Structure 1
Amino acid sequence: MGFAAKSYCSLLCMLVLLITICYSQEDYASSKATYSGSPGCFERPSGACGYGEFGRKVNNANVAGVSMLYRNGSGCGGCYHVRCKIPKICSTDGVRVVVTDYGEGHGTDFILSDRAYSKLAVPNAALELFPYDAVDIEYKRIPCRYPGYNLKLKVHEQSSFPAYLAVIILYQAGVYDITAVEVWQADDLEWRCMKRSFGTVWDLPSPPSGPLTFKVQVSGNGCTKWVQMTNVVPNKWKAGDVYDTTIQLS
């Protein structure tokens, strides 16, 4: 009994340690930020992540384009805490943003929406911040939170039933990047890999007939796992439709 109890305690401690490692928070990193209306700022109006209107409105429009952190699209959907460093103008609270685009300007990592940029300032000081085309900042990755929202799967507008399917994952909570997407081919009893078309858009020519089951690989802070979304897309899917998965990352 004593040995069994000690073994159980050791295993429990290892599991707690693993969870702690997987969800450890990064330290702040230094960089620069600008805003989307700033001269010399280059961004893609259509949104390089492929989110469309969702990418402009999510998180109360506190969104950002990024350069280095874009990582060929795997950085799309990530959440960051950003705060600037100008005394008496910048707030220590900063702003929490969601990555929805790719952009470059003034050697920055972040191109914030005007709304997010204004929240870097202390109350009533936003107008003093905008003349700075670029500001020194510090930032770190934080978990995304979407209370009341499950993961949603959107059939991208470029899709064409039944020959070509492209999908986007919306409301990805936690600190995870989406690194792979697969769809179940029932007649062959195998998973088919989807290809990252651009940003966070994953596509597949000649997709299986529905209802469709997907499997999404997510990675973050040294942890990788698969999340299955069963029969989430109906047989006769349509481009532009959004489907609730009833599950959520944490």
Structure 2
Amino acid sequence: MAALHSFRFHPSIFLCLVASFCFSRTCFGSKAKHSNLTTFGTRWSWAGATWYGSPDGAGSDGMECGACGYGNAVSQPPFSSMVTGIGPSLYKSGKECGACYKIKCTKRMHPSCSGKPVRVIITDFCPGGPCATDSAHFDLSGTAFGAMAKAGEEVAFRDAGVLKIRYARVACDYSGRTIAFHVDPGSNSNYFAAVIEYEEGDGDLAGVSLKEASMGPEEWRSMQQSWGAVWKLDAGSEMQPPFSIRLTSQYSRETIVAKNVIPENWKPGSTYRSLVNYL
């Protein structure tokens, strides 16, 4: 492991202790309404790259949570440990959680580099060291960093320390999965919060709204970004489920609605899958 990681405090450890996002999974959905898939040009830029956690891990050791709130899902498909913490310039106070990038190294930078691009997803924040000083910096999971190496040369490649790489923003592809809502264990009849994940296309959200069962067709209550990929609504009074959730993507501004995705008997700590996604 690169020596850089032996002393860097990672905020995801604290955040995971505050909020446990390792939920039981429940399915519920509504009739699908789809948007057009957003694509991004492959305009390659330069960035720094390091790695943290275990050599074959998903970044944040142990709880594998991350500052975006995706929980231990980052080690499972479709994330499959191909995840990254990001410096402040790209993290943008959590607004870019869920965004997807292709990264690649060059053989000129390291002899064990394969030169082949790999796709990674922002699931964490890297606040200090080169993450704060580089114009752009990816603090990758050990798995994602090693994926840039030639086969059989991952160990030597991980000893590179701070490496110069190329990166480009790309559309997210979750292989037909629909958007899921991990309900915060602290949610109750007056307060609702959830981690939102698996958004195709942009991968991140510009806005989220909630509609209660008692509200009219055009009535929506705006939710606020709490931290990372967690959005919340502090209603101040008892809300009436089921809840529909309206999502607006970050760059394309496409809007989709997960109708009645949170059922009448919803429970804190559960996960509810919609039938919608951006296409």
Same fold (TM over 0.5): yes
2:194 aligned with 1:167, yes or no? yes
Deviation >4 Å, runs of 4+ = 42-46
2:203 aligned with 1:149, yes or no? no
Match of 1:75 among 92, 96, 105: 96
Change (3 A) 1:211 1:37: closer
Post-superposition offset of 1:87: 4.3
- Pick the structure with more strand per residue: 1
Letter in 2 for 1:156: D
Normalised to the residue count of structure 1, the TM-score between the two structures is 0.82
Q: Which digits, 9 at most, give the CA deviation of each residue in 1:23-42, with x for residues without a partner? A: 3414011010000149xxx9
CA contact (8 A) 1:62 1:116 kept: yes
Name which of structure 1's ranges 68-77 and 206-215 shifts more when overlaid on structure 2: 206-215
Residues 118-137 of structure 1 aligned to structure 2 (within 5 Å): 118-137=146-165
Letter in 1 for 2:96: G
Partner of 2:267: 238
Match of 2:69 among 43, 50, 59: 50
2:87 aligned with 1:64, yes or no? no
Change (3 A) 1:50 1:37: closer
What's the % identity of the aligned pairs?
Answer: 29
Post-superposition offset of 1:101: 0.7
CA distance in 1 between partners of 2:119 and 2:245 (Å): 30
CA RMSD between the two structures: 2.4
Change (3 A) 1:173 1:188: closer
Number of aligned residues: 225
Q: Which digits, 9 at most, give the CA deviation of each residue in 1:109-135, with x for residues without a partner? A: 111000111111111111111222210
Post-superposition offset of 1:48: 1.2
Normalised to the residue count of structure 2, the TM-score between the two structures is 0.74
Name which of structure 1's ranges 89-98 and 49-58 shifts more when overlaid on structure 2: 49-58
Residues 91-110 of structure 1 aligned to structure 2 (within 5 Å): 91-104=114-127, 105-106=129-130, 107-108=133-134, 109-110=137-138
Who wins on radius of gyration, i.e. which is larger?
1
Q: Which has the higher contact order (CA 8 A, sep 6+)?
A: 2
CA contact (8 A) 1:94 1:121 kept: no
Letter in 1 for 2:211: W
Post-superposition offset of 1:188: 4.5
Post-superposition offset of 1:139: 0.4
Partner of 1:3: none
Change (3 A) 1:176 1:119: closer
